[in-house]
Amino acid sequence: MAKGILISYAGYPYTPSSLLPDNGLANLAGALIQNGHEVLVLDYGTVDVVKRLVPTDIGIALKDIYNKAKKIKEKKGSSALQKMFLFHTLRHIDRALTKHQNNQTLMMAEELLDLIKEQKPDFVGFKLWVGDGFAASVKMAEIIKRKFPHIKLFGGGPLLDEAEEVTMEVAPVFDAVSFAEGEETIVDLALYCEGKKALSEISNLIYKTDKKRIVKTGKKIIDDLDSLSLPVYDEAIYPAMKDGQKIKIILLDESRGCPYRCFFCPHEHKSGGKRRTKSPQRIFQEIKRLVESYGIHAFRYAGSCTPFETLNEVANNILSDNLDVLYTSYANAKLADLNNLDLLKRSGLHALFFGIETGDDRILHEMMNKRMVSVELIKNKVQGAIEKGIFCVGSVIFPAPGETPQTRDKLLGVLKEIYTHEESGSV
């Protein structure tokens, strides 16, 4: 049996979604536990970390400068001197905030050392994010390695799906980093820590040999998603789940992979071009477990290509069992079947997320490779969902490659046609 600590530190939690439970770490924890290992999840996307990274005095100063900037914007004839003074004040606050957050990162690392001394893990795994969290995570890892050189350090997460080998070059502190899907890889890494498996035998892995040569093993996709362990959100294993630290909306991993290969989307690179879906029975099992075991009634389907036939079957199960849930889903305009939206709404569907992207078919097809749909089809599907009483979130990419004043006007026209009432959705 190996023992591990899984850490997610993305820097300051800038958006509400930063406070959602991390389904990726919960999946990894479930895989480790099912295979007889021990794990502790440290998720720093919490309310307390928000307070910790922006102290009261800096928060007050930022609010004050925001109000002053707002007044200057509203007041005509504001002098350049006033604006310059405001800019320099903001720079001063920014430097103070950066210094404070760097100090807090070091303090968190020291607290982590105390925990490691107490827990005695065989490995520590970091979820690596793009942005401030990456540098902070690497700094934490370096501090751990200096104090506990025998502990294996691993990295994974969204950064790896883009950076891959570059990660090992800029962060050699890690013994190995994992790309693509990690549920099987993390279990194999636990076996590696026990001396039962070599790094070269593990899929989805990047590591350095003794001769400092970077090696990348083969990519493996998990075909049967029903075989995955159930995600674990137990407070004893995932302490951030208690004391009101997280927004209790779960990302439910119902499907992976997408065959459409839109140029702006990394999902196909991470999860493959073949859509894989959990069975409706397995999805319903996870939903029911959220309600009965964790008291969580809200979730969002996490897939980028969620099949509506699956949504319909799960909705029937929810209604048959009288489960009280509220949920949202992504909707691919090509696949979205609006005929059963009444059923989905009765089961708890509140909102759909559509990729509107642009108002110009040339940009949609040539610049984004979204050739399976047209602007007219997307518009009709979003309007149809709104007419059924579903709140619709539309995502646009602006300015897109090839954007002109004319295509901008087209986009604005499409959005005005779709969103005739404020309460119908948002962009």
DSSP string covering 294-355: H---EEEE--SS--HHHHHHHHHHHHHTT---EEEEEE-TTT--GGGHHHHHHHTEEEEEEE
What's the confidence (pLDDT) of residue 119? 97
Q: What is the mean pLDDT of residues 44-54?
A: 96
Residue 77, pLDDT above cutoff 90: no
Partner residues linked to 156 by β-bridges: 127
> 87 pLDDT band (50/70/90 cuts)?
confident
What single letter denotes the amino acid at residue 369? Answer: N
Which of 75-89, 219-233, 336-350, 368-382 bottoms out in mean pLDDT, i.e. has the lowest? Answer: 75-89
How high does pLDDT run on average in the chain?
A: 95
Helix (H) or strand (E) holding 285: helix 280-294
Q: What is the mean pLDDT of residues 121-132?
A: 95
Closest CA to 12 of 167, 135, 179, 112: 135
What's the confidence (pLDDT) of residue 1? 94
Q: Are 378 and 358 within 8 A, CB to CB? A: no
Helix (H) or strand (E) holding 147: helix 132-147
What's the confidence (pLDDT) of residue 269? 76
Q: What is the mean pLDDT of residues 178-196?
A: 97
Residue 390, pLDDT above cutoff 80: yes
> 211 pLDDT band (50/70/90 cuts)?
confident
What's the confidence (pLDDT) of residue 28? 99
What's the confidence (pLDDT) of residue 76? 65
Give the Å distances, CA to CA, from 318 to 47, 224, 281, 285, 286: 31, 23, 11, 10, 11
Contacts of 422 (CB under 8 A, 6+ apart): none
Share of the chain above pLDDT 70, in %: 99
> 72 pLDDT band (50/70/90 cuts)?
confident
Domains of the chain by start residue, with CATH: 1-242 (3.40.50.280), 248-426 (3.20.20.70)
> 148 pLDDT band (50/70/90 cuts)?
very high
Residue 214, pLDDT above cutoff 80: yes
Tokens of residue 170, six digits: 């800029």
Q: What is the mean pLDDT of residues 299-320?
A: 95
Sheet holding 3-8, edge to edge: 38-43, 3-8, 123-127, 152-156, 176-178, 205-208, 214-216
Count CB neighbours of 65 within 10 A.
Answer: 16
What's the confidence (pLDDT) of residue 14? 86
What's the confidence (pLDDT) of residue 78? 64
> 172 pLDDT band (50/70/90 cuts)?
very high
**Position with higher pLDDT, 304 vs 326:** 326
Q: What is the mean pLDDT of residues 272-284?
A: 94
Residue 153, pLDDT above cutoff 70: yes
What single letter denotes the amino acid at residue 49? Answer: V
What's the confidence (pLDDT) of residue 304? 87
**Position with higher pLDDT, 296 vs 88:** 296
Q: What is the pTM of this model?
A: 0.93
What's the confidence (pLDDT) of residue 27? 98
